Structure 1
Amino acid sequence: MTQSNNIPLGIGLMIATTLVFAVQDGLSRHLAGEYNVLMIVMIRYWFFAAFVIAIAKRRAGGIRAAAKTVQPLIQITRGLLLCLEICVMVAAFTILGLVESHAVFTCYPLLVAALSGPVLGEHVGWRRWAAIGVGFIGVLIILQPGREVFDIRALIPLLAAAMFAVYGLLTRYAGRRDSTATSFFWTGTVGAIAMTSLGVWFWEPMVARDWIWMGCLCLTGVSGHWLLIRCYEVAEASAVQPFAYLQLVFAATIGIAVFGETVSTNVAIGCVIIVAAGLFTFWRERQQG
């Protein structure tokens, strides 16, 4: 199928995605602080799967058409990667908080930009490679690996970033032959099956008030991932990635305002370097275009 490259629309979708994901992360941090992470992600995926199945039934061809794909292995891998990444990242929220977790996770657009050439065949110029290198210096400043007090827990969101980058690239790759509806269907159903097999063993009673927050989490989960899938379908991954850094801004604001978190000097410096590297790359590429 023909794939468009509508950059303005892709940018708008990415900004909307980051805002929804930031709200979702705040809700996840609250709920995972009270209940088991696997249970929280499992319930979220139940709603997600029910939603994608309901949408599929309303479309021409029904579930059979939505599930039809010539690349089932890619779609299954995407679904598994995303649900596992969510578990890892939510665990990081409870261990490190929103600010520090996102400070490390914010390197994932650099990983996408670096891999968009060899994986997707998109052009990656020397300016982009230089910015990627500078951005990873920012990551090292945040992690401070040379210090005796290096916190190995910081590797948790770094693992999540790598998993999410690969998920994003596979989403773009799958979009070349499958529609948004098909990718959306496989994302929800594969994740629900995988998380049920894990999370059902960790069920805990939930108080009524937290079921309200759980409902909000489910809604943000559905809308956020649909926006992301749509974003990668309409625009090149490397073009829209710089705007993914806004999730750091939104999430840090929630972490500070709602959870009373703070920002250390090395984290702030590292984040500025990473974001500046990504924005410089985007600006230069647009100038050349």
Structure 2
Amino acid sequence: MSVQNTKLGIWLMVATTFVFAMQDGISRHLAGEYNVLMVVMIRYWFFAAFVMAIAARKTGGLRAAVATSQPGVQIFRGVLLATEICVMVMAFVLLGLVESHAVFTSYPLLIAALSGPILGEKVGWRRWTAIAVGFVGVLIILQPGFRVFQVEALVPLAAAFMFALYGLMTRYAARRDSTATSFFYTGTVGCVVMTAVGIWFWEPMTAPDWAWMALLCVTGALGHWLLIKVYDVAEASAVQPFAYLQLVFAATLGITVFGERLEWNVAIGAALVVAAGIFTLLRTRAKEQGRA
């Protein structure tokens, strides 16, 4: 069993969010030049190789990683995450990093809201209040009724919903499968699905963009490796609030590199969503420790 080190876990989570934000920025660039499905497919090739390499080093090797009593759940998880990534990358192209991430940060609230009907978990009135406040924040970001509503604004919201469902299915799978098994299916199923779809949209890439693609693959593997280390040294409930820093890093990248603007409604709405999300995480932690 790993020694718990919350301070190290927090710093690793900060590093993880920075790496994932860089990955999002590279994805935004490449998807603006090439088909989204092709970009995600190549990213999954490297991710699957990384997952298999990790599994091979674990006790029992690939055989142990493949073993599952719920293949349908694991395959569904893999397909769901691959679809969510495609939708989110498309959101980066349509809306930019700032607004996409501002809306996407609602996914922990969606997890809390859906945990009752899907997992049978009890959600108290305090967390329901936080969820309501968070979605007021989402409405402030989207501004329906105050401007010509952009249908594109629903794209990152759809991605957030899919990622929340993926998170819940991962928790459901964890009741009977190990983390190593779930991680293996996440990479391999996604690779198979994206290859079957993305290969039909192949486009020739320039040499500089192949370099960006290589960096995208490396950041993806590095981000997941860091995330594994985070949960290896610290409790998830202690470090999860720091995952919201990805919004800060991605927004900074969008403004400085891609010339995006931080509108007042996005800033206020995102602040409400993040505050509600952190409150929900803290209430969940309190409940797990028997104080709620």
Distance 1:274 1:58 in 2: 39
Kindly report which structure 2 residues correspond to 1:241-252, keeping only aligned pairs within 5 A, or say none. Answer: 241-252=240-251
Question: Aligned pair 1:139/2:138, yes or no?
Answer: yes
Q: Which runs of 5+ in 1 are unaligned?
A: none
Q: Which runs of 5+ in 2 are unaligned?
A: none
- What is the CA deviation profile of residues 14-72 of structure 1, one whole-angstrom value per residue up to 9, with x for unaligned ones? 54443222111011011111111111000001111122222333333332211111111
Kindly report which structure 2 residues correspond to 1:40-189, keeping only aligned pairs within 5 A, or say none. Answer: 40-189=39-188
Label 1:137 to 1:25 Cα distance change in 2 as closer, same or farther (>3 A).
same
Kindly report which structure 2 residues correspond to 1:249-288, keeping only aligned pairs within 5 A, or say none. Answer: 249-283=248-282, 288=291
- What is the CA deviation profile of residues 69-97 of structure 1, one whole-angstrom value per residue up to 9, with x for unaligned ones? 11111111110011000000101111111
Q: Once the two structures are aligned, what percentage of the paired residues are identical?
A: 72
- What is the CA deviation profile of residues 149-168 of structure 1, one whole-angstrom value per residue up to 9, with x for unaligned ones? 11111000000000011111
Label 1:230 to 1:160 Cα distance change in 2 as closer, same or farther (>3 A).
farther
Label 1:78 to 1:159 Cα distance change in 2 as closer, same or farther (>3 A).
same
Q: Which residue in the other structure is 1:223 paired with?
A: 222
- What is the CA deviation profile of residues 79-130 of structure 1, one whole-angstrom value per residue up to 9, with x for unaligned ones? 0011000000101111111001111111111111222344344453321111
| TM-score between both structures, scaled by the size of structure 1 | 0.88
Label 1:127 to 1:239 Cα distance change in 2 as closer, same or farther (>3 A).
farther
Question: Aligned pair 1:31/2:30, yes or no?
Answer: yes
Q: Secondary structure at the match of 2:140?
A: helix
Q: Secondary structure at the match of 1:100?
A: helix
Partner letter of residue 113 of structure 2? A
Runs of 4+ in 1 over 6 A off after TM superposition: 229-239
- Out of 54-63 and 81-90, give the one that drifted further: 54-63
Partner letter of residue 142 of structure 2? L
Partner letter of residue 247 of structure 2? L
Label 1:16 to 1:180 Cα distance change in 2 as closer, same or farther (>3 A).
farther
Distance 2:229 2:146 in 1: 42
Q: Which residue in the other structure is 2:205 paired with?
A: 206
**CA-based RMSD:** 2.8
Distance 1:189 1:208 in 2: 27
Distance 1:189 1:25 in 2: 21
- Displacement of 1:169: 1.4
Q: Is the 8 A contact 2:112 2:280 kept in 1?
A: no
Label 1:116 to 1:78 Cα distance change in 2 as closer, same or farther (>3 A).
same
Q: Which residue in the other structure is 1:19 paired with?
A: 18
Q: Which residue in the other structure is 1:194 paired with?
A: 193
Distance 1:111 1:283 in 2: 15
Distance 1:225 1:93 in 2: 20
Label 1:76 to 1:14 Cα distance change in 2 as closer, same or farther (>3 A).
farther
- Out of 119-128 and 87-96, give the one that drifted further: 119-128
